[in-house]
Amino acid sequence: MFLIVGLGNPEPQYAKTFHNLGFLAAGDCAELLHTKFKKRECEASVAEAYLAGEKLIIARPLTYMNNSGRSVKQLMRKYKISAKQLIVLYDDYDLPKGHVRVRPSGSAGTHNGMRSVIAETGISDFARVRMGIRDPEVNIPLINYVLSEIRKEDYDLFSSACKRAAEAAVAIAAGTDIDLVMTKYNG
């Protein structure tokens, strides 16, 4: 069993912001697996699927970004998920826009949602799939940038990044060695 969590903010005004790329990628995971977000539990919107005969949970925490860990902790407890069964999808200002980077573990970097996940769960050795958002042409404070709407001319680039991130997460959940996933999707 795997738990794929896409980080974001639940209200409609955040739907097309950089900080919601995790939500968008989680939606792409659900689409790849022909499922929908049908229930709410553990402070999250949840979709269930089966992959290679194993149950897979896809979740979008409804706790807002800075408290994402609260929902992740509840989901891990409910489904008895270990660190090796957790995959987190999220935006990352430390990567150039449109880039995808898969890692088997790591720190939170500048991301408050990941800080919350690590603090609440007490673990950092779980897979993460990051989607880069840094744009050298934009010079505004980080908090304003991550909550700003993606420009129309960049929408296809970020949509593609979300789809690649979803494919990477599903590949990991299907049992593909993470090193192979990194080779295919990083960059």
Which sequence positions are flagged as catalytic? 19
> What interhelical angle do 155-173 and 178-185 show, nearest 10?
160
Going by DSSP bridges, is the β-strand pair 54-61/100-103 parallel, antiparallel, or unpaired? unpaired
Q: Which of these, 180, 140, 106, 133, lies nearest to 22 by C-alpha position? A: 133
Dihedral pair phi/psi, residue 8, rounded to 5°: 180, -165
106: left (phi over 0), alpha (psi -120 to 50) or beta: left
Please, which residues bridge with residue 166 across strands? none
